[in-house]
Amino acid sequence: MRSLIDIQELSPEEIDRLIAVADDIIENPGKYAHKCEGKKLATLFFEPSTRTRLSFEAAMYDLGGHVLGFSEAQSSSSAKGESVADTVRTVSYYADIIAMRHPKEGAPMVAAMNCDIPIINAGDGGHNHPTQTLTDLLTIKREKGRFDNLTIGFCGDLKFGRTVHSLIGAMSRYKNVRMVLISPDELKIPDYVKQTVLDEKGIEYTETNSLDEAMSGLDILYMTRVQRERFFNEQDYIRLKDSYVLTPEKLKTAKSDLAIMHPLPRVNEISVAVDKDSRACYFKQVKNGKFIRMALIMMLLGVE
């Protein structure tokens, strides 16, 4: 029984296949309308979500399947102290596949070890978010036409940003990819990501505090939110939250074919004035998320 806990569990060839299926779903949605008839997806969200949970649910409905689940821990028996292991074992008697978000790093892995239906990690604390990465990869492929020979700037909260950690892991497997890591000192990329991914794969990268200095060299700018919910100290959050605010003015030195990405939700880090810029891709990411999740659900359920 195959789960998806970390993006590295998918080979580049499998990612190519998922992207090809997602592209085909976009072109021919009717072909897929009955692929998961009789199947049930459970969405177990112990942390808030708009895009991930609703795109999973829309994906399953568009495949002809059904959805059950909860959108906050307080409405499940985890509020009474039930363990993740007992929760997923219970749900495995009612559903065929589970998408799970949890504030604790490693919780989806514990879930996968304790039930015999596929578990999809829909975000675990500050660790990983593999289906956001699939969404990002589909968007990069559709916007840039390639994964090789790209310079990607990651900007904002690189310490707790699980979408950043997952996308760095995925992009580090392609040729001639350079990364510019733009953050305040307090929110730099964790050492374990540097050692086990960037150094291990020999990726060329630089760390800087300055988005302005990095801008002109980037093919992709991946903005992120400074996440209030990951801070222990409100004062630190307030001091760091507006470290980077992307405006049309700041994009003056950017390439004409820059792809501006953001996993969303945004708070203040991209001005709404940027939404009109043809290089803004963040709502395309939102749209692509449903199609790649449809492809993933079919793959994990063994649906041809």
- Is 252 labeled as catalytic in the residue annotation? no
Q: Are 182 and 153 in contact (CB under 8 A)?
A: yes
| 238 Cβ contact list (under 8 Å, min separation 6) | none
CB of 101 to ligand CP, least distance (A): 7
Distance CA 241, CA 67 (A): 36
Return the number of the residue (35 or 225) whose C-beta is nearest ligand CP: 225
Token pair 């990951």 is found at 230
Return the number of the residue (205 or 231) whose C-beta is nearest ligand CP: 231
- Is 80 labeled as catalytic in the residue annotation? yes
Give the closest residue to 264 by CA, choosing from 173, 139, 117.
139
- Helix H or strand E segment including 142: helix 130-144
SS3 103: coil
Return the number of the residue (35 or 262) whose C-beta is nearest ligand CP: 262
Return the number of the residue (3 or 132) whose C-beta is nearest ligand CP: 132
The DSSP annotation for 197-231 comes to IIITTT-EEEEES-HHHHGGG-SEEEE----GGG-
| 231 Cβ contact list (under 8 Å, min separation 6) | 237
CB of 91 to ligand CP, least distance (A): 20
CB of 264 to ligand CP, least distance (A): 5
Return the number of the residue (92 or 166) whose C-beta is nearest ligand CP: 166
- Cα dihedral: 228, 287, 218, 153 (round 10): 30
Looking at residue 239, its amino acid is R
CB of 286 to ligand CP, least distance (A): 8
Structure tokens at 93: 């008697």
Distance CA 81, CA 166 (A): 30
- Is 129 labeled as catalytic in the residue annotation? yes
Distance CA 131, CA 121 (A): 8
Catalytic residue among 53, 101, 102, 293: 101
Return the number of the residue (172 or 227) whose C-beta is nearest ligand CP: 227
| 133 Cβ contact list (under 8 Å, min separation 6) | 7, 163, 166, 167, 169, 170
CB of 4 to ligand CP, least distance (A): 15
Name the residues that contact ligand CP, by CB under 6 A.
Answer: 49-52, 123, 132, 263-265
CB of 104 to ligand CP, least distance (A): 16
Distance CA 165, CA 130 (A): 9
Catalytic residue among 35, 40, 102, 129: 129
Catalytic residue among 51, 194, 230, 250: 51
Residues involved in catalysis: 51-52, 80, 101, 129
